[in-house]
Structure 1
Amino acid sequence: MKTVIEVIVQTLLAFFSILYITRLLGRQQVSQLTFHEYINGITFGSIAATLATDVDQRTWQHFIGLILFGALTFLVSYVTMKSRTISKVLEGEPLIVIQNGKILERNLKIARYHMDELNGLLREAGCFSPGDVEYGLLEPNGKLSIIKKGDKRTVTLGDLNLVPSPDTIPTELIIGGQIIYDNLKKMKIDGKTLINNLKMYGVSKIDEVMYATIDHSGNWYVDKFEDKLAEKLDMSEDNKGI
């Protein structure tokens, strides 16, 4: 019974200690891990697990180690903010891997990335061909930042000197075949109007609808459970059609 109580107390101590230390270190510890923060984050977990379950050692020994690693993480973060040279050494800097549509194989090799990984990063950035990219920079956190070539960039309303209307979050009307009646009332939509609009999307019954919304401009979005696609894209490696 004594061992169980010790484990409970040590677990609570470990949990709230990590929670407090992470809060002190700031949001960057969670959203944009640098190398030293990543390493210390793993160590935090290891020390905390030991602190929570090890009843053979003194609790304060593990607790001091946890606090020390938190202090070291804070110290290194502070130093990297003050010194660009140290920041380059500890955190790295962006690396150009695509220039004028050409892949810089040497830099790609330095980053230890292969083409499949680069293609995946390109797709995440909304680009499906290196030839469309003017510059591609591999950031220290592993993300790819790209500048598309002039003729491949999306034209914005600012380019056309047009003033856009403010964006609003669409109101959900149906989720998983269930009507959100409060939202219908909020948007002043009665049952007849709802059915008539759904019929325009080939819907005969409410339970056919997976998701339906309407924005403040009156534009509807309707997605049915059964998606009748004319052509299904196969991304698997054993695609016989390739």
Structure 2
Amino acid sequence: MTTITEVFLQTILSFFTILFITRILGRQQVGQLTLFDYINGITFGSIAATVATDLNQRTWHHLLGLVLFGGLTFLMQYICVKNRRVSKVIQGEPIIVIQDGKILEKNLSRFHYTVDDLTHLLRKKDVFDINSVKYGILETTGEISVLKVASKEYVKAEDMNLQTKQESLPTEVIITGNIIYENLQRRGLTVKWLLDQLKMMNVKSMKEVFYATVDGDKRVYIDKEEDHFKKSEDITEEQR
């Protein structure tokens, strides 16, 4: 059997094997993949490529590895469905990163996310003002779910026959205790003005500020390094 023929046959075998396994494992959109699913996908692809092109070893060795890996993945998915605790360990759990307009820095760091990562996710949800967020939940897929403050919910102005004022985008002026001087200059503001605003909000040190923005009306939003809540809700607890 020629090399080309072997590769041709092994590729067909690899293709239909991985197609069969993925059909058994079920469908899931790429945007909904957890880290566990993502790593599994890479591994499947790697093994399948080896099955298709490796002519130095017996094909069924690699094929057996592919089938076994698919079986283990199916088993873990089944266990995760049946056991919530195992699911938390394997697939992770959603976590609250914004509560009542304040960033929960410790929860954010558990996912190794930065403020820039968070604001990027919020903008994809058409949220440009953190103060308008009642709860922001970082999902296991890396996406964020947002519940806005009731008074900030979107209503079409034309439906209410209202005259509206175009909101300007908030400008970041402090990130993790560091002033972003160029953004202050773009707003035509000075460091002294910013420090005066911080004093008015009972901020004694720049190190206390985790994140701060200024909008077009010179309204300052501040999120401190340590926000104090009575209790951060656990959204993963089972309802009894």
Q: Map 1:5-44; keep pairs closer than 5 Å.
A: 5-28=5-28, 30=30, 32-44=32-44
1:143 paired to 2:143: yes
CA contact (8 A) 1:94 1:138 kept: yes
2:208 matched residue in structure 1: none
Task: Write out per-residue CA displacement over residues 75-96 of structure 1, whole angstroms, 9 at most, x where no aligned residue.
Answer: 1000000000101111111111
RMSD, aligned α-carbons: 2.9
Separation (CA, whole Å) in 2 of partners of 1:69 and 1:90:
16
CA contact (8 A) 2:31 2:141 kept: no
For residues 100 and 118 of structure 1, what CA distance do their matches in structure 2 show?
A: 15
Whether 1:93 and 2:93 are equivalent positions in the alignment is: yes
Matched positions, count: 167
Alpha-carbon distance in 1 for matches of 2:108, 2:124? 18
Return the letter of the residue paired with 1:17. T
Regions of 4+ moved over 4 Å: none
Between the aligned partners of 1:104 and 1:15, the Cα distance in structure 2 is: 45
Amino acid across the alignment from 2:36: H
Q: Cα deviation per residue 1:89-126 (whole Å; 9 max; x = unaligned)?
A: 11111111100000111111111000111011001111
Using the size of structure 2 for normalisation, the TM-score is 0.63
Task: Write the distance in 1 (CA, Å) between the matches of 2:106 and 2:80.
Answer: 27
Partner of 1:46: 46
Q: Which amino acid aligns with 1:126?
A: D
CA, structure 1 residues 31+104, in 2 after alignment: closer, same or farther (shift >3 Å)? closer
TM-score w.r.t. length of structure 1: 0.63
Equivalent AA in structure 1 for residue 108 of structure 2? L
Q: What SS class does the counterpart of residue 28 from structure 1 fall into?
A: coil
Higher relative CO (Cα under 8 Å, sequence separation at least 6) belongs to 2
Q: Which has the larger Rg?
A: 1
The amino acid across from 2:16 in the alignment is F
Distance in 2 separating the partners of 1:53 and 1:114: 41
Which has the higher mean CA deviation after the structures are superposed, 29-38 or 84-93? 29-38
Cα distance change, pair 61–29 in 1 and its aligned pair in 2 (3 A): farther
1:128 maps to 2:135: no
3-state DSSP of counterpart to 2:146: strand
Question: Is there any run of 5+ residues in structure 2 with no aligned partner, and where?
Answer: 161-168, 170-181, 187-240
Distance 1:30 1:116 in 2: 23
Q: Distance in 2 between matches of 1:56 and 1:29?
A: 36
Could you tell me whether the CA contact under 8 Å between 1:11 and 1:53 is conserved in 2? Answer: yes
Identity %: 57
